[in-house]
Structure 1
């Protein structure tokens, strides 16, 4: 029924937890396709170990780093499931995630893409805050301008993603934003499950990370953006004086202003 796609590049530190969170799903009818995209750490051996002992895991190897979009398209060509589920190698799916999403797609034939809310965790697995998102209608209206759809929470009908020829491989990051826009323009229907079905890690080593040594400043900012202002102060002692002043100033800015400006 479901083909799970995960591309891995130097994620050995978190990889086993990510894989285990998929293998421990209450919904069992899935295959798990994992591509090692030219990792230089121990990721490849971890993937091979799981592929040897778990028949649902299908391992692939890129000898040259292709990037996420190309790796996902290659796995799409191999996928046998009716539904495609995404997963990232540093996140943790809740055990009921697939059960909830398959039920949504099976009971609503008009829905093409289903995604969920997330809880943000830090690099040490500690919870930061539950992510804030607008309601479903606003999320869909913002597609093409701002993305509130967390890529690793998505499950999508394979037929719908094939209609728009999958991911655009010219994107090194933001390939999911582009995909949702093209699917929306093609008439796809999106459904938001507001419950938390995935722990989303703020990983300082991810491709999209923009921390520049200011990891805890980013974490504190994320708390403010996600309406957990008091939690932002928990990291204040780790910040420089200038960063502390910025956090304190943002602490009193109404959330709707930040939302309209798209800033945290």
Structure 2
């Protein structure tokens, strides 16, 4: 059914090394009712050529080219704006979905009457070496997510029929985290799937691999996006540090 269409949001910048695997993982989904909206953020490499080759064979893939380099928040929000689907899902241009990801997650959402869900995911490095599995808590609410962001962007799906279209805050990093907090403020709580349904690639220079940078952006979320006072921010930041040490 068209009203169950899934719009997959993919920002792309210099992604020529991995974008083919990302697209293939969408084409190989057992759920076929999807559109993939890739937004190129002025890539100087050959990633657009690779994407356009896939578009010739696969009409469900769309490419939007930004006129100036604007960052992933604007790229993702542009795709959300253009999305025709009931469900909004996210997959970055270097990550991968397992074949039954959409089918299993949509069934889980419908059976449990959920407007927003997430799942566990596997981790790999740039050479596809296995780095283990991240299993998030089953339950998520605003307060628990402030302590630590356990929702991987590549696993998140929300239902526009239930909560409308929601956009990411226009910040340089952690904009996905800002969106999850915004959604959880509205819906109060949700559930996730503990089975890994996606594969997250850790890049050498990514924010997630640079702990100091990640901590700085976490603080900005508390103070500038969520507008928490200094005491609330310190409380949640101590929790963030604790969970960060525990995770790694």
Normalised-by-shorter TM-score class:
0.7 to 0.9
The equivalent residue for 1:130 is 133
Query: CA deviation digits over 1:220-247, x for unaligned, max 9?
Result: xxxxxxxxxxxxxxxxxxxxxxxxxxxx
The unaligned stretches of length 5 or more in structure 1 are 213-256
- Deviation above 6 Å: which 4+ runs of structure 1? none
1:262 is matched with which residue? 244
Aligned residues: 216
Q: Which residue of structure 1 lines up, in the alignment, with residue 68 of structure 2?
A: 64
**TM-score if structure 2 supplies the norm length?**
0.80
Give deviations 1:15-34, integer Å, cap 9, x for gaps: 10011001100000111111
Taking the aligned partners of 2:141 and 2:132, their CA distance within structure 1 comes to 20
For residue 15 of structure 2, the aligned residue among 11, 17, 38 is 11
The equivalent residue for 1:231 is none
Which of structures 1 and 2 has the bigger CA Rg?
Answer: 1
Q: CA deviation at 1:138?
A: 6.2
* Structure 2 gaps, min length 5: 213-238
Structure 1 residue 166 and structure 2 residue 171: aligned?
A: no
Aligned to 2:156: 154
The normalised TM-score by structure 1 is 0.75
2:121 alignment partner in structure 1: 118
Whether the 8 Å contact between 2:125 and 2:201 is mirrored in structure 1 is: yes
Equivalent of 1:92, from 91, 96, 99? 96
* Contact in 1 for aligned 2:141/2:189 (Cα 8 Å): no
In the TM superposition, residue 143 of structure 1 has moved relative to its aligned partner by 1.2
Segment of structure 1 superposing worse, 22-31 or 196-205: 196-205
Distance of aligned partners of 1:159 and 1:37 in 2 relative to their CA distance in 1, 3 Å threshold: farther
Deviation, 1:188, is 4.9
